[in-house]
A and B are shown apart, each in its own frame.
Chain A
Amino acid sequence: MSDSKTPLLDELEKGPWPSFVKEIKKAARTSRKAKDLLGQLELSYKDKKTHWKHGGIVGVRGYGGGIIGRFSDVPEEFPGAAHFHTVRVNQPSGWFYTTDALRQLCDIWDKYGSGLTNMHGSTGDTVFLGAGSDELEDIFTELSKAEWDLGGSGSDVRTPSCCVGPARCEFACYDTLALTYDLTMAYQDELHRPLFPYKWKFKMAGCPNDCVASIARADFSIIGTWRDEIRIDQAAVAEYAEKGLDIQSDAIRRCPTRCMKWDGNTLKINDHQCTRCMHCINVMPKALRPGTDTGAVILIGAKAPIVQGAILSSVLVPFMKIEPPYEELKDLIEKIWEFWDEHGVARERIGELIQRVGLGNFLEAIDIEPSPQMITQPRDNPYIFYEEYYAEEKEGGEA
C-alpha cells in the first residue's frame, strides 16, 4: 500500500498521456498554493463535489474584467487555496511570444502566484491560476510595467483572438494578426469595463479552414475568403496526378458543389458555383490557391449552450474588404452593440437576441440588406422572409 495523500488523484497519473496532476505535484514542491490545491482536489474526488465557490467581488482597480474569482469552501483545511483566482493575461496576436516574454510572465507568476498556468485558456488568454485577493494589484502593476494587459471576463469584449494568419500560413486572405491587435486597442473600454448584456467574442480566421473555430465559438466571426477565382497551376495539378493523387475521387467528388472538372489534363473550376470551402485547396495546396481579391465573410451569433442550445454563427456580410483602418467593420460592430445594448436582456448573447427578435428586424436595425447567403446552417434555405419581394409580386399580379 502506498502512503500517498492523494490516492484518487494518483489514478489520473497512470497511463502514457500527460497529466495535470503530475504538473500540480511538481509545482507543489515549491508552492504552498499548489500543495493545498492538490489536497482540496483530492477531497473533491472523495466527496464527489466541487469545493470551489463561484464569483464574488474580485478585480483590479478600474477594471471590470480579467480576473475570475474563486474561493475555497474549506479554507481552514487548505489555507493556501483559500483564494484561488484566475488572472487572464491578454495574449499577443497569434500566440507569438519571445522566450524573454515568456520568462517575464513566469517570473511575475512565480513571485506572486501558484506558478500554475494554462497556456492557453479557451478564450485564448494566457491564464494564471491561483492568485490571492491581496496580490491582485501587485500582479497587475508588474504586468502593466512590463507592458502586458489583462484580458476580458464578465459582460465585456473578451480577449480577441486569431489564427496564425499570414505570419505562417499562405492561405490567409487578410492580416488576422493586425486586425486582432487593432480591435484590441480600439475597444479597450469595452474590454475592461463591462457594459454589455453578456460576453462578446471576436475571432479572426484567415480563411474558411477556420483554425480558431470562430464559427462555433465567436459572437462575431471574421473568416477570410476571396471573391475572384481560385488560382490554378495546371502543371502542379498534373504533378499531383503523376505522384498518385486520385484527383477524381479525392478532390472533384468531394467538392460540395460539384463545380470542378478534371479530364486527366486540365482542371476546371466553375467559380460561380464554388462556395470557397477550401477542400480542393487543402488537397492540392501546391496547385491551388485562394484568389487575389481577398477579404472576409462576417458571421454572427455562435455560442455554447447555456440558456438555449448551442448555435453556430451564420453569415451576416458575405464579403467585406478587411483593410486598415477597418472603418466599415467597426461601424458594423458598433451598430450591433447599439442594438444589443438597447434590446438585449441579461445574459443574452447576440445570437439569442437575433433568434428572439427575428433576423429581419435585426437586419433592419443595423441597416443591412438581406441576402441569400444568410442561412442558419450549410446547405439550408435562406431564413429571410422577403416581404418586399412578395409585396411586389402581389401588386404585379393584381395589375
Chain B
Amino acid sequence: MADEITVEQLADDMYDLVKKAEGKKKYKPNDLIKEVITKYGDKVDKKDGKEAIKLLMDSERCVYSYAGGSFVELAK
C-alpha cells in the first residue's frame, strides 16, 4: 500500500464530501481540512489540506461562496 497520500487524493476526497452534502450542509474550508485530517490521521497535515483546497479551486471543480462566512461549494 502506498503510504503517501497525495494532495490530489485529498482534493478528490474533499470534492466527494462537498458533493454528497450538496443541498444539506455547507462546508467551510477549515471543516474540509479537519475532515481529511480525521480520515488520514497524521499522514496529512493542515498544509496539505490547504494545498488540496487550492487544487480544488484551481481545477474549477469547486468555488468559494459567501453567506456570513466563506464556504466551499460545487462549481455550477
A interface residues with partner B (beta carbon < 8 Å): 54-57, 59, 61-65, 68-69, 153-156, 189, 193-198, 341, 346-347
Contact = CB atoms under 8 A, between A and B. Distances in A.
A62 B54 CA distance: 7
Contact of B70 (A54, A62, A69, A154): A154
B17 interface: no
Interface in B43-74: 46, 50, 53-54, 57-58, 60, 63-70, 73
Contact of A156 (B46, B54, B70, B73): B70
A199 to B, nearest CB: 9
Contacts of A341: 30, 46
Interface in B18-64: 28-30, 33, 46, 50, 53-54, 57-58, 60, 63-64
Residue from A61, A69, A194 having most chain B Cβ neighbours under 10 A: A194
Nearest to A195: B29
B65 A193 contact: no
Given A61-B57, A195-B30, 17 more contacts: A55-B65, A57-B64, A57-B73, A61-B60, A62-B58, A63-B64, A69-B66, A155-B66, A193-B29, A193-B53, A193-B57, A193-B64, A197-B30, A341-B30, A341-B46, A346-B68, A347-B69
Contacts of B30: 195-197, 341
Given A57-B73, A57-B76, A346-B28, A189 B66 contact: no
Given A194-B29, A195-B50, A62 B66 contact: no
> Interface of chain A, helix or strand or loop or mixed?
loop
B69 A64 contact: no
A93 B50 CA distance: 28
Nearest to B49: A195
A155 B69 contact: yes
Contacts of A196: 30
Contacts of B54: 189, 193
B53 A59 contact: no
A347 B63 contact: no
B16 to A, nearest CB: 20
Interface of B: 28-30, 33, 46, 50, 53-54, 57-58, 60, 63-70, 73, 76
Contacts of B76: 57
Contacts of A197: 30, 69
Q: Which of A63, A189, A346 has the most CB of B within 10 A?
A: A346
A194 B64 contact: yes
12 contacts: A55-B66, A57-B73, A59-B64, A69-B66, A154-B64, A154-B70, A155-B66, A189-B54, A193-B54, A193-B64, A194-B66, A341-B46
A194 B28 CA distance: 9
B67 A55 contact: yes
B64 A64 contact: yes
A134 to B, nearest CB: 13
A57 B65 contact: yes
Contact of A59 (B33, B58, B63, B69): B63
Contacts of B70: 64-65, 154-156, 194-195
Nearest to B33: A195
Contacts of A156: 70
A64 B70 CA distance: 8
Nearest to A155: B70
Contacts of A61: 57-58, 60
Contacts of B29: 64, 193-195
A88 to B, nearest CB: 13
A54 B30 CA distance: 23
Nearest to A341: B30
A56 B65 contact: yes
A322 to B, nearest CB: 27
Contacts of B28: 155, 346
Contacts of A69: 66
Nearest to B75: A57
Among A64, A69, A189, A346, chain B packs the most CB atoms within 10 A around the CB of: A64
Contacts of A155: 28, 66, 69-70
A11 B2 CA distance: 72
A61 B61 CA distance: 11
A357 B58 CA distance: 36
A68 B64 CA distance: 12
